[in-house]
Amino acid sequence: MPIPTPASCRVSPEAGTMSNGTGRYEKRLSDLAGLYADSAAFAALLADGDRVVYDVTEFRPSENGGDVIFGVTRMNPGRVGKEFFLTRGHIHAKSDRPEIYYGQKGTGLMQLESPDGETRIVEIGPQTICYVPPYWIHRSVNTGDEDLVMVFCYPADSGQDYGIIERSGGMRHRVVAADAGWALVDNDGYVPRTPEVAAALIGDAV
């Protein structure tokens, strides 16, 4: 069996990219429809142009268990109403897989939610490592006024379940602009997962 070959990728914090990636994708505002509370502000911003909200350059050697996928994510600064630009968010399809984010430029946060609905926030700036434990739903938010650039790395067989956030009407809290920079407010549309669903996500039977 041929074994994988070594690689080197150079990160540019300024550009929010890295060299030698195996793939790249971007998400535009229209890809984030339905995530924001202020639908009028969303429509107004979208009418002004379907701008790129974030892009990802990744290195994906394989999807084999035991391998890793890594890359750089860059998110523009911006707001929809009071809410900051954010990623769609997900839980890993193999929910026991963790992830690491390493801040390179800008300021933001990782919004994490446990299966039973607890919110945790990890603020991220340059040189900050954020550990996303197994089983936590996670989304990044750019709370600053410049690009938020982070390196990420996760097990190659993790997969992503984006539907988990849709199924509960969003995450439990919204991150909004405030005098202190940001604040959490309740998401009025949030539907808590049942104990059965929460237990199933961590592989427990109720």
Residue type present at position 54: Y
DSSP string, 24-56: EEEEEGGGGTTS-S-HHHHHHHHHT---EEEEE
The answer to whether residue 113 forms part of the interface with Ni ion (CB under 5 A) is no
Tell me which stretch binds Ni ion (CB under 5 A): 33-41, 74-82, 95-103, 191-199.
95-103
Determine the interface stretch with Ni ion among 1-9, 32-40, 99-107, 183-191 (rule: CB under 5 A): 99-107
Write down the least CB distance from residue 91 to Ni ion, Å. Answer: 8
DSSP 173-197: EEEEEETTEEEEEE-TT--PPPHHH
Q: Which of 71, 80, 99, 115 binds Ni ion (CB under 5 A)?
A: 99
Residues in binding contact with Ni ion, number by CB under 5 A: 1
Residue spans of beta strands (DSSP E) within the chain: 11-12, 17-18, 23-28, 52-59, 68-75, 79-80, 83-84, 91-92, 99-105, 108-113, 119-124, 129-132, 137-142, 148-155, 160-161, 173-178, 181-186
How far apart are CB 97 and Ni ion at their closest, in Å? Answer: 8
Per CB under 5 A, contacts with Ni ion among 24-83 are: none
CB of 143 to Ni ion, least distance (A): 19
Nearer to Ni ion, 99 or 113 (CB): 99
Residue nearest to Ni ion as judged by C-beta position? 99
Residue 121 burial by Cβ neighbours in a 10 Å radius (0-12, 13-18, 19+): middle
How near is the Cβ of 50 to Ni ion at its closest, in Å? 25
Closer to Ni ion by Cβ: residue 38 or 157: 157
Q: How far is the CB of 191 from Ni ion (least distance, A)?
A: 22
Minimal distance, residue 99 CB to Ni ion, in Å: 5
Q: Which stretch binds Ni ion (CB under 5 A): 40-48, 67-75, 93-101, 172-180?
A: 93-101
Cβ atoms of 146 and 105 within 8 Å: the answer is yes
Which residues would be at the binding site for Ni ion (CB under 5 A)? 99
